[in-house]
Structure 1
């Protein structure tokens, strides 16, 4: 694994340093607004809409919300993961003795079925470093092709975590390359936090809060670091299907949930349990106020709204934060209570846009 002992401390200042380091390699993605989505979010849901939910019979919340969408779907490789990958590679190159020990020739290793695989492959290619990627044999052909297009050496594994980790160990022993995990490493977390750092500087008014998706927790914990010491609160959002809301449940029980069942959620980027280092930021340091869960139908509805009203391509994982703001009455009631008549300016991180046209057809054929 890349040497954690030389990593910067997990602070806002370190996120700022990370941004300075990777700025030449990433896009400063745009921040968009949408009056229609603001209006929808600021309109109380009807009693009929709440029927059949856990909030049935409750008076609908009346929040006032103004959205600021950080569009990481426009980032290199189509997702925020490029930030952490470029930061990991650039920090690795700075480690004392790395080049002398043959680090450039040995390269980097990771396991991923999606965005991290593509991101690390691109970052390694940019620095002329070999990238060895372990991908489950069940990975989508489009993601395999995209990863291969960046020059990665792909090795396939079985779909389960033990199978993936076993193949990763084999490749590490063969190559002696540096392991760059998808989320559970300081380099990755600090790099992911640069999205929120940019967002905070791109809005004309200070944000009351930012909400991000949460899978392994790299983006959420990085966002929390970027907002530490500011007035901006940080929230996470997860799918509720099949126990994929492990971070939410962990916060309620004050214990990290280490395994997640084989979740079938359409938000496939969020099927991973929160890592140890992200958890130490999210829970132990208390830098994330709360995490909210949303249903598959709510994810689909939010995704449709973004496609139809904003005319941009986003993947299911990207819209769970927006879905929470639109449909989770617990979140909405909290905004009503804390924001009052003035309401909240809410940053929403769209984490990526890597979804195929075929997958989109399948998603909405199920409606």
Structure 2
């Protein structure tokens, strides 16, 4: 039996399915080096990141029995909040496996949406194993953050919106990448556009996988990074295949380049961008890519602890 894979038609269907559950986020103009670029502000999405899209698409398709058994997810915070919020709206019990060092603002947001949180040690425990065990024990549905067709297709609604807002596909879309659910979904929604994924230095396993033509893990020991939302050590065959078939390529940015992008987003765009959400903007500002007129930069999330954010802004 052939494994189900995400498709362009599935992305369009997901966009229609979740239209009333998510915010249609704005495209903000950015004049850069004599050309007009656009910033897709998913940091303004409900829950502070794009993750509500995939979570809503997955949970809306559960039958009554599935909803009654609840859902389990694992996440450093943005997917956690997306699943918790979607579950709360549908009356579904949600249990979220989160790293003990997850940003406090993400923990608080997940709790506020009514989810139960199970913490784990990122260095010594497997969130996948814990999530699978909890789901098996309760009969709940496991909702992965990126290794799931419905989640990927839901995230791809970002690309559907971009096309609708511009009236045509942009020449290039730059997308932050952890597991690749958002970038894979956008690639399916915008096959005419060049897709450039951006990751933190040392965590650029998708970029290296695309260059090698096969999935390769993050090289150990992985360096510390402020981009907690993008700390994925091995990407999914689903997301890798979609991006590989789209001819996507990858870039990596440094911690200082990310910090400068966060400061720029605040000063020039009046956007609060978390570190992982700012990496695509960082690549442009650092001159690591030269996007043509009309290209789109996705700022994927804005859930950053206030203390860290204030310190970062004052340092600039």
Any conservation in 1 of the 2:6–2:238 contact (CA below 8 Å)? no
Q: Show the counterpart of 1:28.
A: 24
Any conservation in 2 of the 1:236–1:288 contact (CA below 8 Å)? no
Q: Show the counterpart of 1:80.
A: 50
Structure 1 residues 310-362: Cα deviation after superposition (integer angstroms, max 9, x where no partner) = 11211111221122222244x22xx5xxxxxxx42111111011112211134
Correspondence for 1:215 among 168, 178, 183: 178
Residues 204 and 166 from structure 1, CA distance in 2 versus in 1: closer, same or farther, beyond 3 angstroms? closer
Any conservation in 2 of the 1:263–1:271 contact (CA below 8 Å)? no
Q: Does 1:281 align with 2:230?
A: no
Structure 1 residues 155-209: Cα deviation after superposition (integer angstroms, max 9, x where no partner) = 2222237442343233123211010001111011000010111011112565111
Structure 1 residues 127-175: Cα deviation after superposition (integer angstroms, max 9, x where no partner) = 1011111122222332222111111122222223744234323312321
Structure 1 residues 77-130: Cα deviation after superposition (integer angstroms, max 9, x where no partner) = 01000000000101223xxxxx3xx32221111111210011101111111011
SS in 2 for 1:143: helix
Correspondence for 2:254 among 289, 295, 299: 295
Structure 1 residues 39-87: Cα deviation after superposition (integer angstroms, max 9, x where no partner) = xxx2xxxxxxxxxxxxxxxxxxxxx642111111111101000000000
- How far apart in 2 are the matches of 1:148 and 1:347? 33
Q: Show the counterpart of 2:285.
A: 326
Q: Does 1:67 align with 2:37?
A: yes
Residues 138 and 72 from structure 1, CA distance in 2 versus in 1: closer, same or farther, beyond 3 angstroms? same
- How far apart in 1 are the matches of 2:224 and 2:315? 14
Unpaired segments of 5 or more residues in structure 2?
Answer: none
Q: Does 1:13 align with 2:4?
A: no
- After TM superposition, the structure 1 = structure 2 runs for residues 125-144 of structure 1, keeping only pairs within 5 Å, are 125-144=88-107
Q: Show the counterpart of 1:358.
A: 307
- How far apart in 2 are the matches of 1:206 and 1:184? 26
TM-score by length of 1: 0.80
- After TM superposition, the structure 1 = structure 2 runs for residues 172-187 of structure 1, keeping only pairs within 5 Å, are 172-187=135-150
Question: 1:366: Cα distance to partner?
Answer: 6.4
Q: Does 1:346 align with 2:295?
A: yes
Cα RMSD between the aligned structures? 2.1
Any conservation in 2 of the 1:294–1:328 contact (CA below 8 Å)? no
Q: Show the counterpart of 1:309.
A: 268
Any conservation in 2 of the 1:183–1:216 contact (CA below 8 Å)? yes
- How far apart in 2 are the matches of 1:318 and 1:65? 23
Of the two, which has the highest radius of gyration? 1
SS in 1 for 2:197: strand
- After TM superposition, the structure 1 = structure 2 runs for residues 214-293 of structure 1, keeping only pairs within 5 Å, are 214-228=177-191, 231-240=192-201, 243-259=202-218, 261=220, 262-272=222-232, 273-283=234-244, 285=245, 287-293=246-252
SS in 2 for 1:184: coil
- Runs of 4+ that moved beyond 6 A: none
SS in 2 for 1:264: coil
Residues 217 and 92 from structure 1, CA distance in 2 versus in 1: closer, same or farther, beyond 3 angstroms? same
- How far apart in 2 are the matches of 1:239 and 1:113? 16
Residues 260 and 130 from structure 1, CA distance in 2 versus in 1: closer, same or farther, beyond 3 angstroms? farther
Residues 192 and 263 from structure 1, CA distance in 2 versus in 1: closer, same or farther, beyond 3 angstroms? farther
Any conservation in 2 of the 1:293–1:328 contact (CA below 8 Å)? no
